[in-house]
Amino acid sequence: MGLSPASACDTPCPARQQTIALVDDDRNILTTLSISLHAEGFATRVYADGETALKALQENPPDLAIFDVKMPRMDGLELLKALRAQSRLPVIFLTSKDEEPDEALGLAMGADDYITKPFSLRLLVARIRAILRRSELAKAPPEEVPGAELPEPVVRGRLSLDPARHQVTWDGKPVSLTVTEFLILEAMALRPGVVKSRNQLMDAAYSDDVYVDDRTIDSHIKRLRRKFRAVDPEFGAIDTLYGAGYSFADG
């Protein structure tokens, strides 16, 4: 059934309000984040434990979710693992300074980023917007992006990247990457053999107003290697030049 004249937008339709799911057993954090995100124009849903959140996230996915790591009934890592079995929902972890192993594990399991408590709300909002922007671009069919010029696929030896469709293959086998992982790999593959510093990779994968430290880039590189080695145990195309950065070996 078509839209009636009254329901169609004669002028540009207002942007859809994006929804953030907040999962944390600390109700003070849930309240503070919910109020702050509402002020930034987001809708929020809040859950006090992972078990309750999982069912809701599966039945009615938001645009992005923020998980605390330590929670009763089902912690953030268990929640992410269960979610990743069927969803690529963008996820940011909230961690404490003494939870570095959990940060690394969360990134390895497919979290898009992490923020350490106590955190800046301005920084969190900037990261949310950056991840949502990349996620929307990755999901949207290129022909639906007004005035878009479709980027050409990048082929480097056995690697093929299609930025327009956010698809990656190695030897013809698909490799599933997050938006951040894709942008880091693309930055290296566009100039094979050229060492990219961590700062350059940060610039490629994060917006200008988002600060990330070296551990985040290193964690993303480890995840990239792990994912490619899952389809090719001999994969070694990402080189490390200690003290300088990383490069992609063409061939």
242 pLDDT more than 80:
yes
Kindly report the pTM of this predicted structure.
Answer: 0.63
CA distance 66 to 103: 13
> Does residue 85 lie within any of the structural domains?
yes
If phi > 0 it is left, if psi is from -120 to 50 it is alpha, else beta; for residue 243 that is: left
203-233 confidence digits (pLDDT tens): 887 765 555 666 778 888 988 999 999 999 9
Is the domain of 28 the same as that of 120? yes
Domain that holds residue 97: 19-139
Q: How many CA atoms lie within 13 A of 83 on its CB side?
A: 32
pLDDT of residue 129: 86
Is the domain of 192 the same as that of 172? yes
- Of 139, 162, 186, the last residue of a domain is 139
SS3 of residue 137 by DSSP: helix
Q: How many helices (H) and strands (E) does the chain have?
A: 8, 11
- Of 118, 139, 160, the last residue of a domain is 139
Is the domain of 95 the same as that of 41? yes
Domain of 132: which CATH number? 3.40.50.2300
70-122 confidence digits (pLDDT tens): 888 898 999 999 998 888 899 998 887 565 666 667 776 778 887 877 777 88
> Does residue 9 lie within any of the structural domains?
no
- Of 91, 117, 139, the last residue of a domain is 139
